[in-house]
Structure 1
Amino acid sequence: MADEIEIDTDDLERRMNGAMDSLRHEFGSLRTGRASASMVEPVMVDAYGSPTPINQIGTVNVPEPRMVTINIWDKSLVGKAEKAIRESGLGINPQLNGTIIMLPIPELNEERRRELTKVAAQYAEHARVAIRNVRRDGMDQIKKAKGAGMSEDDQKLWEDEVQTLTDRMIGKVDEALEAKQAEIMQV
């Protein structure tokens, strides 16, 4: 019976991949010198009495490399959407054209680029912490399995497997961070 004790490494890997997906999403919302529809995803508009993502009250388009447009479907929400963008901390000044909100993306100066690389590093650190928490859960499962009769050799094998998975995922976080920082610093 002790031979049948296994640790669900697929679940651990799925949870670690979830942390990577979250990191990619956060990186997508970081503004580089180019326009991206994902940069307005975190903007919430007070629509019909509840906070609503901006992409649920209008169509987000990127017609040019330095322009994002949002075609608001309900005219009564245009002002609220504009206000939400101004207050979002994106550092973009929206321009109105009827029901279309245009967001011209200005060039980033050197200081702002350095700030954004620090923000990217913080996002990466959050992802590393999430991955380490999954690792800790895996190690706890192994300790419980040892108490249920797992041999020390099996325990060592599982611990090595969980650690290898953790190292691989943290390596992916580091690669993603390097790529994002290079993208931000690119002029």
Structure 2
Amino acid sequence: MPDGIDFKDLHRRFDGAIAAFKHDIASLRTGRASANLLDPIHVDAYGASMPVNQVATVSVPEPRMISVSVWDQSLVGAVDRAIREANLGFNPIVEGSTLRIPLPELNEERRKELVKIAHQYAEHARVAARHVRRDGMEHLKKAEKDGEISQDEARVQSDRVQKMTDETIAAIDKLLAEKEVEILQV
């Protein structure tokens, strides 16, 4: 195939947009406990800000409970403080070097807020996919202008880029719909 677009690179970038979206929605709280809920929380430990999972083991022993086993006893207070100050609505119970975090039921209002946040994450992912498409299209136009590829080849490749974009956005929408059902499930 003549020069034009590196479709492997575009595919990698589209996959990156989907992966980032998956990571974002994984941290959204649903009716069940998940170790990912604590991912955005950072603890001031050893003179640096570290994610909770780097100073403790995070597990889910029950559907409505998160257990955080802090490795260094001196950091229990810092982890407790970080979780409380994260404004996630969690109130850890300290038991020695373990923090137990009971998850209260989500009310309807909070569920709707979480759905809105999920929609925002989805829109960011769609925008990222559109940026990848734009970069690909600009590359094609430049290649066509420079005479590296023919007009027909540019059209074929631009259709392929558009198809990849549509598939990526469809995948994002599918993930969003699944997460929405999961959040609204009582």
Which residue does 1:169 correspond to in 2?
168
Q: Taking every aligned residue pair, what percent have the same amino acid on both sides? A: 53
TM superposition shift of 1:23: 0.7
Structure 2: state its 5+ residue gaps.
none
Cα distance in 2 for partners of 1:179, 1:128 equals: 16
TM superposition shift of 1:4: 2.3
Which residue does 1:62 correspond to in 2?
60
Which residue does 2:177 correspond to in 1?
178
TM superposition shift of 1:148: 2.1
Length, aligned pairs only: 185
**Equivalent pair of 2:43/2:82 in contact (CA under 8 Å):** yes
What's the CA shift string for 1:132-153, capped at 9, x where partnerless? 0011110011011112212110
**Equivalent pair of 2:58/2:67 in contact (CA under 8 Å):** yes
Cα distance in 1 for partners of 2:2, 2:175 equals: 37
Which residue does 1:157 correspond to in 2?
156
Cα distance in 1 for partners of 2:5, 2:184 equals: 42
**Equivalent pair of 2:4/2:139 in contact (CA under 8 Å):** no
Cα distance in 2 for partners of 1:183, 1:164 equals: 29
Q: 2:76 aligned with 1:78, yes or no?
A: yes
What's the CA shift string for 1:12-68, capped at 9, x where partnerless? 111111111111111110011100011111110001111101000011110000000
**What secondary structure, in the 3-state scheme, does the structure 1 residue paired with 2:5 have?**
coil
**Equivalent pair of 2:21/2:122 in contact (CA under 8 Å):** yes
**Equivalent pair of 2:42/2:51 in contact (CA under 8 Å):** yes
Please tell me the residue identity of whatever aligns with 1:96. Answer: V
TM superposition shift of 1:6: 2.9
TM-score calculated relative to the size of structure 2: 0.97
**Equivalent pair of 2:92/2:100 in contact (CA under 8 Å):** yes
Cα distance in 1 for partners of 2:31, 2:24 equals: 16
Which residue does 2:5 correspond to in 1?
7
Structure 2 matches for 1:4-43, cutoff 5 A? 4-43=2-41
- After the TM superposition, which segments of 4 or more aligned residues of structure 1 sit over 4 Å from their partners? none
What's the CA shift string for 1:66-104, capped at 9, x where partnerless? 000000011111111111111112111111001101110
**What secondary structure, in the 3-state scheme, does the structure 2 residue paired with 1:4 have?**
coil
Cα distance in 2 for partners of 1:137, 1:87 equals: 40
Cα distance in 1 for partners of 2:112, 2:11 equals: 32
Structure 1: state its 5+ residue gaps.
none
**Equivalent pair of 2:4/2:154 in contact (CA under 8 Å):** no
Cα distance in 2 for partners of 1:26, 1:77 equals: 27
What's the CA shift string for 1:107-128, capped at 9, x where partnerless? 1000000000000000000000
Cα distance in 2 for partners of 1:19, 1:103 equals: 31
Which residue does 1:90 correspond to in 2?
88
